């Protein structure tokens, strides 16, 4: 019988999550920005590293690769079009990652926007979305256009609603605060806000969330909803109608949003 796979968050820096998929013997890590906390977790749980998966080139996702590969000789998977240290398995759309020690198979989904080569990994009912989809938010557009990012998010929304979403940062409460300014009367969002505030108060991650919950609460996935459109039009002009324009304005508003 196969040992069930478990997923544990390893915290790094101020708000990064390095997700570890393991079967109590072997482990794969996603976006190890820092090797130290990964090493500690592997030792504490008596796990052998068997693979490193990268979503995009930013240092807070890749900074630990070299050190981890130096001590454990494991394959490094990542986006083919980005410069990833020690990458020996460049990936493109619809390719799969298979890690035999874990009997883990993940499919690659190209999601440009935050960076141009950003990829997400999907399989076993899980989505590892990196800095593309966050709890109740989305990544900043450092390299891509609003149209690219919206297309990427829409692509992720095609996955089953029950898919568990593992993001690379704990940004959920800030994102919920912004979402509540956009849709103050969204009942699912209000319930989520309460639950996630409790989780943070109890030092628990707000993740994983589910795609269904994101589609019901995340304003960046709701650019076709009348409430979201009307909010943007109210602030930016009634001539704004196209979902890409709604998304673009929403993203800019979030960039300038600060909790008072």
Q: Would you name the residues annotated as active-site residues?
A: 56, 58, 60-61, 114, 131, 169
- SS3 (DSSP) at 23: coil
Among 22, 39, 58, 251, binds Zn ion (CB under 5 A): 58
Q: For Zn ion, which is the closer residue by CB, 38 or 141?
A: 141
Which span (38-46, 51-59, 119-127, 200-208) binds Zn ion, by CB under 5 A?
A: 51-59
- What's the closest the beta carbon of residue 58 comes to Zn ion, in angstroms? 4
Instruction: Measure Cα distances from 139 to 57, 110, 143 in Å.
Output: 14, 15, 11
How many angstroms separate the CA atoms of 139 and 217, rounded? Answer: 16
Binding flag, residue 31, Zn ion (CB under 5 A) = no
In this structure, what are the phi and psi dihedrals at residue 20, rounded to the nearest 5 degrees?
-115, 120
Coarse DSSP helix, strand, coil percentages of the chain, rounded to the nearest 5 percent: 35, 25, 40
Burial bucket for residue 114 (CB in 10 Å: 0-12, 13-18, 19+): buried
DSSP 219: G
- What's the closest the beta carbon of residue 56 comes to Zn ion, in angstroms? 6
Does the bond joining 67 to the residue before it have cis omega, within 30 degrees of 0? no
Q: Count residues near Zn ion (CB under 5 A).
A: 2
120 to 139, contacts with Zn ion by CB under 5 A?
A: 131
Q: For Zn ion, which is the closer residue by CB, 131 or 214?
A: 131
- What's the closest the beta carbon of residue 82 comes to Zn ion, in angstroms? 11
Q: For Zn ion, which is the closer residue by CB, 131 or 196?
A: 131
Residues making contact with Zn ion (CB under 5 A): 58, 131
């Amino acid at each position: 019988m196969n040992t069930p796979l478990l997923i544990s968050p390893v915290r790094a820096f101020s708000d990064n999550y390095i997700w570890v998929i393991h079967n109590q013997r072997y482990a794969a890590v996603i976006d190890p920005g820092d090797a130290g906390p990964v090493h500690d977790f592997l030792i504490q749980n008596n796990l052998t590293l068997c693979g490193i998966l990268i979503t995009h080139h930013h240092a807070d996702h890749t900074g630990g690769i070299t050190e981890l590969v130096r001590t454990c000789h494991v394959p490094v998977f990542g986006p083919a079009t980005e410069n990833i240290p020690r990458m020996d398995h460049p990936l493109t759309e619809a390719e799969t990652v298979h890690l035999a020690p874990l009997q883990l198979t993940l499919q690659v989904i190209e999601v440009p926007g935050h960076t141009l080569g950003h990829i997400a990994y999907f399989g076993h009912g899980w989505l590892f979305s990196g800095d593309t989809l966050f709890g109740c938010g989305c990544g900043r557009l450092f390299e891509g256009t609003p149209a690219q990012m919206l297309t990427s998010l829409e692509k992720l929304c095609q996955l089953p609603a029950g898919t568990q979403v593992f993001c690379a940062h704990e940004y959920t409460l800030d994102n919920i605060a912004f979402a509540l300014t956009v849709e103050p009367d969204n009942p699912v969002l209000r319930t989520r806000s309460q639950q996630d505030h409790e989780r943070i108060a109890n030092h628990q991650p707000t993740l994983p969330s589910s795609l269904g919950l994101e589609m019901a609460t995340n304003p960046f996935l709701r650019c076709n909803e009348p409430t979201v459109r009307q909010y943007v039009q109210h602030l930016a002009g009634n001539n704004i109608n196209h979902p890409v324009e709604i998304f673009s304005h929403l993203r800019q508003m979030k960039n300038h949003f600060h909790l008072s």
